[in-house]
Amino acid sequence: MTSRPSQTPRPLLQRPPLSGLSVAPLDAALGAALQAKADGLAKPLASLGRLEALAVRIGQIQGRLDPQMDQVRAYVFAGDHGFANAGASAYPASVTAAMAATFLAGKASVNALARSAKVDVRVVDAGIDAVLAPHPLLIEAKVRRGSRNAAEEPALTADEVNLALDRGAALAAEAAAEGMDGVIPGEMGIGNSTSAALLMHRLTEVSLTDCLGAGAGQDEAGMARKTALAERAAARTSAKDPFQVLCEFGGLEIAMMAGFVIGAAALRRVVIVDGFISSAAALVAVRLRPEILPYCIFAHTSAERGHRRLLEALGGEALLDLGMRLGEGSGAVLSVPILRSAAALIRETASLEDVLAGRL
């Protein structure tokens, strides 16, 4: 992409996004069969606690009695925000492109963690305000070069949001076709914690103050600027419909992650949700399509202010709490060995009946 798209927002469309995707409810009968299988393993009843519940959920999501979590891929969705140029972040917007290059070089934190956990990493250019050189691990899905400043005008048009949602769902379909058992929507975008806080505030009605955190490391003066920008954006519109809220506050990586979550659920893939920004995308996805919630497993509780309240709003219980607030999909990557262990537990452990009968 060599030219900057038009900066003039277009009117909202009324077409519902992702209208062709169907998400099946989890099979209660299969859940009961999986639970019976877990209860019959050669161990005391419920002795492995939440690991057993995870095994049942993974099996229900995948629609099988022998769940698999061998192949997992993290997609780092990257996009820029008009908020960043207005002073919402401690870092300049150029850091988004610089970090995308770092991911592609395999030198970021998520790359190190992913290698340890045997997780693939791909980088998705959803809306970086730069032109990246081609790379085998880069997925070019740019909708436009960054969102608009939501403190002044809608961050995205309806057409742009629909395109981001659809491209996210298409990426989930590619992941499923390539044999992924689970997927991680990670993110990178200077200014995106402001966008996520506004989405959370409007979709949960938690106070804006309780949604706003330090993001990438704001000091007191930076938090004052960030809060003022967020308050201006919130005061500019009364939108509450999830699609319109996404148009008002952006950003492109969050919209694409929301489509990705919905698309993955439609294809019965385990969605491993990371921290605050990833959870905000999941919140948008759930508000658009409530039936996708059981397909989401929340990896960790971020130290970013607002994340615990966001998990409460989603009814999610995180697996880990390590005081992390990096993003990139890093906390979700750390949870993958736990999910693999849960799947292996119900797939590979002998039944108590077989042990007692000597059928090993």
Question: Annotated catalytic sites, by residue?
Answer: 328
Helix (H/G/I), strand (E/B), else coil: 232: helix
Cβ–Cβ < 8 Å for 84, 191: yes
Cβ–Cβ < 8 Å for 208, 194: no
The type of residue at 134 is P
Structure token pair of residue 206: 């938690």
The DSSP code for 63 is: T
Q: Which residues 6+ apart lie within 8 Å of 149 measured at CB?
A: 82, 83, 85, 86, 155
Cβ–Cβ < 8 Å for 79, 192: yes
Rounded Cα–Cα distance for residues 234 and 282 (Å):
20
The DSSP code for 241 is: S
Rounded Cα–Cα distance for residues 290 and 50 (Å):
24
Find where tokens 């850091």 sit. Answer: 95
Report how far Cα 104 is from the mean position of its chain's Cα atoms. Answer: 19
